[in-house]
Structure 1
Amino acid sequence: MTASPGLLSASSKAFEEATYRKITWRIIPFLIVCFIFAYFDRVNISFAKLQMQGDLGLSDAAYGFGASIFFIGYFIFEIPSNIILHRVGAKLWIARIMVSWGIASSLLMLVENETWFYVLRFIIGATEAGFLPGIILYFTYWFPAQRRARINAIFMTSIAISGVVGGPIAGFIMTRFAGVNGWAGWQWLFLLEGVPTIVLGLLVLLWLDDNIGKAKWLSTEEKTLLQDNIDRDRSAAVAHSFLDAVKQPVTIFLSVVYLFMLMGLYGLTFWLPQLIKNTGVASPMTIGLLSTIPYAAAGIAMVLIARSSDRHGERRWHLGLSVLVGGIGYVLSGLFGDHTAIAIAALSLAAVGVIGCLPVFWTLPPKFLSGSAAAGGIALINSIGNLGGIISPYMVGKVRDVTGSTAGGLYAIAAVTLLAALLILFALPRSISEKDPVH
């Protein structure tokens, strides 16, 4: 007796879902932990600022430039890093990235002047280059298009998690360890958040597999299913080499949009503790606790937006409206920067918009890129976008030095964030705005 087609279909669907759950639990939690420490090492400077700025005699503009120069090193080495990852394998290259930036981040504890502050921030950016786009590329080796927004969202909740736990941890370290061994709290912060990154980098070599074919923990049937799904996606992509990716107008369009989006993100990331302090909160521990609220809101929004986007196969409106909300949040944070409760609510709205949109954005490049084009094109979009990390922190710092207020900088960030929303909603190329298949 032969099973009915309906039963076979249900059985196949159950097998597929079980297989994707298996690889999700194998890969994603570990990479979330890695990215949390990546984000710690990138943005702990915003908490260290509360103490080290006075110790080193840094102006707000000097701090903003030091925060920004990270992205110059990041920009220079991003594309080569991702192309190397595609060629030598994710396991080896992600391990190299994490170990080298963990060492560089730890060395920030030894900074004694403005010059070395700049030098080490540049080195941290250069060594970290390729990590996020490398992970985005890595997911294209395992997950088909209709699953990527959800997977990107689960992974990128690490941004929100790092914000939720990072603030209290930073506040605790800077308060509890201040003066221990003759070191300031900010020195301990760099050391205690840098060393775990080195350890995690070494664990990458033991835990990750470069691709489906090398995963010994998958059965032959599971590998066949996964690879068939990936191959169908790749056959629909347009660009296959890095030069093909560069020649695509949509690559440049997405790079510009991402630049504006990340100006919004890094304006929040590098100035959130100071913005909270401006409302009258003095304690580093209290500032750390309050800083968790915007990130927690962003984490919840990120998952909900991504699930809705995948469920409907729709990207344009989910992405554009999210970014629009972020711009509105920045306007309100500038208007009510002296009121703690209202400012936290406005900054939460900004975080929901500029962080919640990221998983949906990263579903777009693989719609027209594959192979070396995906490696180089994703890195190009990310590296140009991260120039926003050079512009917005320095801009807010400079405006604050000149005017004594951060409001003007927040309005400028609001303007570019709203511009990004308009470009997404009304100028997104048809080739990537079409709905993805929903199964």
Structure 2
Amino acid sequence: MIPRKRWAYVIPVAVVMYMLAYLDRTNVAVILPYIGGDFPLSAGAKGLASGIFFVGYLVLQIPAAVLAAKWSARKTVLLLMIAWAVAAVLCGLVRSETQLYLARLLLGLFEGGVWPAVLVLLASWFPQAERARANALWMTCLPISAILMSPLSGFMLDHMFWRWVFVLQGLPPLLWAVVWWFAVADRPARARWISAAEREYLETTLQAEEDAKPAFAKQGYRQALANRHVLLLVGVYFFWITGFYGFSLWLPSVVKTMTGGSATAVGFLSAVPYVLALAGMVACAHWSDRTGNRRLAVTVPLLVAIAGLLAGNLVRWPAAVQLVLLCVVATGVHMPYGPFWAIPSRVLGIEVVAVAMGLINALGNLGGFAGPYLVGWLTDVTGAATTGFVVLAAFLAVAAGLAFFGLKPATVEESAHVPAATRHP
């Protein structure tokens, strides 16, 4: 039986770290409806304030990925953690709409390199047969953050000025940076807590996977960035994330309209869909690792999300039914995360996969700008958010189509008949 300390040491520390990042990224969705007294914002301005984060987000994707692969993922994330905490605090100190945009832009800049850097870290700790689960367990930070932090933001808004909410939620990354520094190692050979048996298993298995990759997987940076699989994954991720963030960042506003409740009530109800999303992510990743079928693990949840998004916006439902449909959409857009991010390291060698993942995340996350801004702009033009959400469903449909018809099973799917030691962490 192979020791499994990597699951207890690497994943939890990374989960908390990115929970804090995701909180500082998305708390704006809960806070923006309560800013009005200082500088009133139109729906389009709110969408821009939410989405401009992703303009900064793309800048450091590839540089941070290269630093993580060539220098140290641990040190790269540490520096970015400190910088994004400062930017998050600045969001509470702004005095104008323009300053709010600038602070959000800087927050996106510093958070941008964290995602690919952690993916590089996980690729050095978890073999392919475990990677969808490792990715998904780390990425549970997204729904967990929403479950815990949306109610927290709502509660804080009911008891303090919105500026203090930004400031106080920006400070925890500075404390967690200390934990990160002492608990995380770049690879098994540098970890003090790992056993000799686990270290040998990981180094042998990971090296064997690298040696088994086809010649095209070991090309240079330029060829890797032009690889059709990488470009296809960029397309899938862009259309998916447009729908994902367009939905996620506007969810509190929808709930507020549904309930007319206090900030605390909005926060708690906004957390409900993410409870199901959390369970769905883990289940989908486990199924994907067990069967090796990455393509369907990405496509089917997106189709479920489309159905929920259209049903919720084209038909008038009671509030309880609307909340159920929000749960369906949240689950559908979260489930593909683990399987999707297991694909790049399947088709590319470790030398270049960091750059490819940085490119996919950078260009794909432009959808994080497009989604919120599109919903806000269409709301201003039409007077209702329905048209925007229907358009987001169309974006998700394109992502599902690209994934199903573009990702060749022989390339991105793995044999389900892997050794038991690798199949069951």
TM-score by length of 1: 0.92
Query: How far apart are 1:430 and its partner, in Å?
Result: 4.3
How many residues align structurally? 415
Q: Which runs of 4+ in 1 moved over 4 A?
A: none
Matches for 1:75-154 after TM superposition, within 5 Å: 75-154=58-137
Answer whether contact 1:104 1:120 (CA < 8 A) is retained. yes
Q: Does 1:351 align with 2:330?
A: yes
In structure 2, do the counterparts of structure 1 residues 337 and 153 end up closer, same or farther at CA, with 3 Å as the change threshold?
A: farther
| Alpha-carbon separation, structure 1, partners of 2:205 and 2:243 | 35
Q: What code does the residue aligned with 2:402 have?
A: L
Please point out which of 41, 44, 53 is paired with 2:24: 41
Q: Does 1:312 align with 2:312?
A: no
In structure 2, do the counterparts of structure 1 residues 171 and 411 end up closer, same or farther at CA, with 3 Å as the change threshold?
A: same
Q: Which residue of 2 aligns with 1:421?
A: 400
Deviation per residue, 1:156-193 (Å, 9 max, x gap)? 111111111111100111112x2xxxxx2x21211121
SS at match of 2:185: coil
Matches for 1:1-80 after TM superposition, within 5 Å: 14=1, 16=2, 19=3, 21-80=4-63
| Alpha-carbon separation, structure 1, partners of 2:356 and 2:230 | 7
Q: Which residue of 1 aligns with 2:265?
A: 286
Farther off after superposition, 314-323 or 234-243:
234-243
Q: Which residue of 2 aligns with 1:274?
A: 253
Q: Which residue of 2 aligns with 1:6?
A: none
Q: Which residue of 2 aligns with 1:261?
A: 240
| Alpha-carbon separation, structure 1, partners of 2:190 and 2:219 | 23
Query: How far apart are 1:338 and its partner, in Å?
Result: 6.3
| Alpha-carbon separation, structure 2, partners of 1:260 and 1:337 | 27
Deviation per residue, 1:318-365 (Å, 9 max, x gap)? 211011111111112212466321221111111111111111111110
Farther off after superposition, 248-257 or 72-81:
72-81
Answer whether contact 2:234 2:363 (CA < 8 A) is retained. yes
Q: Which residue of 1 aligns with 2:206?
A: 230
Q: What code does the residue aligned with 1:40 have?
A: L
Q: Which residue of 2 aligns with 1:167?
A: 150
SS at match of 1:142: coil
Task: In structure 2, list runs of 5 or more residues that go unmatched.
Answer: 420-425
| Alpha-carbon separation, structure 2, partners of 1:433 and 1:240 | 17
Answer whether contact 2:67 2:73 (CA < 8 A) is retained. no
Deviation per residue, 1:210-235 (Å, 9 max, x gap)? 11111122233321111001111212
Q: Which residue of 2 aligns with 1:4?
A: none
SS at match of 2:60: helix
Answer whether contact 2:347 2:412 (CA < 8 A) is retained. no
| Alpha-carbon separation, structure 2, partners of 1:368 and 1:282 | 48
Between structure 1 and structure 2, the one with the greater Rg is 1
| Alpha-carbon separation, structure 2, partners of 1:431 and 1:111 | 52
Query: How far apart are 1:428 and its partner, in Å?
Result: 1.4
Answer whether contact 1:279 1:337 (CA < 8 A) is retained. no
Answer whether contact 2:235 2:402 (CA < 8 A) is retained. no
